[in-house]
Chain A
Amino acid sequence: MELLVCIKQVPDTSEIKLDPETNNLIRTGLPSIVNPYDMHALEAALSVKDQIPDSRVSVISMGPPQAEEALRQCLARGADDAWLITDRAFGGADTLATSYTIASAIRHVERTMNRTFEMIFCGKQAIDGDTAQVGPQIAEELGIAQATYACEISVDEISRTVLVKREHESGYELMEAPLPLLITATSELNEPRVPSLWHSIAAKRYTIGHITLRDMPHIDESRIGLGGSPTRVRKVYQPPLRGKVDMLSSVEEGSKKILELAYHVKPEKFAHLLVPSDEPVVEAEDYDGVDVSNPVVRAAAVDSVVPKEIRAVQPNTFAAEAAKQSTDAQGGER
């Protein structure tokens, strides 16, 4: 079976640089890795190859010439062939233009190499763009079915169908899909293998074929690159941070603060800690800065009182107790 994996080289860093003119990310000069979900896509293809004899795994990527390195990492894990779609004319493409370019290159490889890819694997999304769009758009452009968010697959060669377990928000969907099929992989799908020595040596020697604009005479140039992209990035900015963090000095203070915050959201959950009281306990309000009219703060503030006892304490007793402690505390200052 002819299997194809689409991969993307992505920056592996939180350090972001932007091109001030195009507002696009500068992808050069940053440490690069193969998009982690794509490694699961590759593993899925290699597993199918292990299962079905005479299968072949091809890998394709679109990017600058240095993306060859990402393809070599796939070859080192057992991929048979690799192509890089690379041309300045393809730069600045959004997901629609990217998927059209990749789909055109896939058709080009199929024709020149006389192959028909029956399964195409992509990662569920790339960790830089996080769009999850290029896979389905490639499937649409090629006119084939898709199974996104795959976390388990089993290929039946005889019936030419694939049973796919898809991840949803509320459960798993079991779906049967025909070949040819495009699958997008989640990290649940498998555990990617490590490079093997033999394949690593072969990967170093492998000459990765480049696919440029010139190689694809049938491509519609109005649908590629920045010019062929319907969407435009108007501006890119850092999300605003929250206001300055208030650091609490101790475990006790922190625990108290959290309980107080929780009390304000769900006071009903603290009802059993409430001391029945008709009158507000005002006398002790300034006790150590603790608002004793708030039962949670009070419960959290009084360490010496076993929580069970708090319920038993009568309001006046508690107030008197607190007031006494308050007087005691002030005693030293006098």
Chain B
Amino acid sequence: MGIANFEEYKDVFVVADTIDDVVHPVTIELIGQARHIAKEVGQLVQVMLLGENVQEQAQELVAYGADIVHVFESPFLKHYSTDGYTKVLTDFFKDHKPNVLLIGATNNGRDLAPRISGRMQNGVVADCTILTVDTEEGLVEWTRPALGGNILAEIISPNHRPQMGSVRPNVFKKPERNDAAWGRIQIEPVNLTAADIRTKRIDFIPFSSVSYNIQEADIIVAGGRGMGSKENFDKLYELADAIGGVVGATRPLVEKGWIELPYQIGQTGKTVSPKLYIAFGISGAIQHVSGISGSDTIVAINNDPTAEIFQHANYGIVGDCMDVLNDMLGHLK
């Protein structure tokens, strides 16, 4: 395999992540990274915006750094579907060949990216957390955690185009908004029929208590198995309330049903990057730690002085997490 003529493959493309016609914040993070890559290789940033009624959000994407936004509107694109998105995107890429293609590593993005790679027979790197450019060879260096976050692997796709990767949400900072930025918003034809989409959305059941997004929290108060009981764990909400934080948890606590899935932090849950992360009774399994490594400051409280979490914390307290919690609550009353 391999492609002889790379000259045809131009520009850095971003697939906007939309949920029911609303652009997901990861899209802005992707545009920021796309700008950076585009600058290094001297190319443009183009965004693929799919939905039923998304046109008015295109200007917003331009303000964050898109040079061209291709808008694809169709009632069949109102909800994400593997078949619909794959067809529209790969059809378009037959004529507009991307050099680089970025997709958000949300559940939908991780459903889509491998499907596109299968159809276009190009390489795809999953869930990247560091993006750099080898300017000599003009290659994107995709870096991603593997083995539950124990190692980082830098991966390139030297002989295939588009160079493609999914990018983990909430890892990269959003670029500055610039209202003076200008770009082209291009309405594209959509060649899609009901028969093209084999699956059918029946319903969407939102999580009951998503009143806040843990990925946007400045302070996270997180509990692990060391909390001992649900009653103890629930006290974290008092602290979170008092200091303006959000409660999160490790996977075992979500599995026990103490807290809902959207608040699970770690490799199989959310990646978070708060200014302050307070870990109560968390042992520090690598699967959890890999989801918090972007935090500015980590404080860990654990009664086991050898707990792994202390290797990853800025401050450590060896002691009963309930003692510390109660002491803090006492001061805050």
A residues apposed to B, CB below 8 Å: 11, 14, 16, 18, 23, 25, 94-96, 99, 127-137, 139-141, 145-149, 163, 166-178, 187-188, 222-223, 228-239, 241-243, 245-248, 250-255, 257-259, 261-262, 265-266, 268-270, 273, 296, 299-300, 307-308
**Chain B residues, CB < 8 A from A131:** 114, 126-127
Specify the main secondary structure of chain A where it touches its partner: mixed
**Chain B residues, CB < 8 A from A11:** 147
**Chain B residues, CB < 8 A from A257:** 299, 315, 317
B24 shortest CB reach to chain A, Å:
8
Complex contact B315–A248 (CB within 8 A)? yes
Show 22 A/B contacts (Cβ-Cβ < 8 Å), sorted by A.
A14-B147, A129-B146, A133-B114, A136-B114, A145-B83, A146-B111, A148-B107, A148-B110, A149-B107, A149-B111, A166-B107, A172-B207, A175-B200, A187-B255, A234-B141, A248-B316, A254-B319, A262-B243, A262-B276, A266-B219, A299-B331, A307-B331
Question: 10 nearest interchain CB pairs?
Answer: A140-B118, A230-B123, A254-B317, A171-B206, A231-B123, A133-B114, A131-B126, A230-B160, A266-B244, A136-B114
CA distance A136 to B118 in the complex (A): 8
Residue of B at shortest CB range from A164? Answer: B199
Residue of B at shortest CB range from A266? Answer: B244
B124 contact from A231, A246, A251, A266, Cβ within 8 A: A231
Residue of B at shortest CB range from A299? Answer: B331
Complex contact A255–B154 (CB within 8 A)? no
Residue of A at shortest CB range from B122? Answer: A230
**Chain B residues, CB < 8 A from A254:** 299, 301, 315, 317, 319, 324
**Chain B residues, CB < 8 A from A169:** 106-107, 262, 270
Complex contact B147–A16 (CB within 8 A)? yes
Total B residues in contact with A, Cβ cutoff 8 Å: 93
- Given the interface contacts A149-B111, A171-B204, A246-B314, does A223 sit within 8 Å of B1 by beta carbon? yes
Report the stretch among B67-75, B183-191, B305-313 that lies at the interface.
Answer: B305-313
Residue of B at shortest CB range from A244? Answer: B314
B278 located at the interface, meaning its Cβ lies under 8 Å from any Cβ of chain A in the complex: yes
Residue of B at shortest CB range from A302? Answer: B331
Q: A96-B121, A135-B114, A307-B333 given. 4 additional CB < 8 A pairs?
A: A127-B148, A232-B158, A259-B332, A266-B244
A210 shortest CB reach to chain B, Å:
26
B residues apposed to A, CB below 8 Å: 1, 19, 82-83, 86, 106-108, 110-111, 113-115, 117-119, 121-127, 141, 145-160, 198-207, 210, 218-219, 242-245, 255, 261-262, 267-268, 270, 275-276, 278, 286, 290, 293, 297-301, 310-320, 323-324, 327-328, 330-333
Specify the main secondary structure of chain B where it touches its partner: mixed
- Given the interface contacts A173-B201, A223-B1, does A258 sit within 8 Å of B299 by beta carbon? yes
**Chain A residues, CB < 8 A from B156:** 231-232, 234
Complex contact B117–A171 (CB within 8 A)? no
Complex contact A269–B200 (CB within 8 A)? no
Complex contact B110–A170 (CB within 8 A)? no
B219 shortest CB reach to chain A, Å:
5
Residue of A at shortest CB range from B251? Answer: A187
**Chain A residues, CB < 8 A from B201:** 173-175
Complex contact A236–B114 (CB within 8 A)? no
**Chain A residues, CB < 8 A from B318:** 247
**Chain A residues, CB < 8 A from B310:** 245, 247
- Given the interface contacts A148-B111, A175-B199, A222-B1, does A251 sit within 8 Å of B150 by beta carbon? no
**Chain A residues, CB < 8 A from B204:** 168, 171-174
Residue of A at shortest CB range from B82? Answer: A146
CA distance A167 to B158 in the complex (A): 34
Residue of B at shortest CB range from A134? Answer: B114
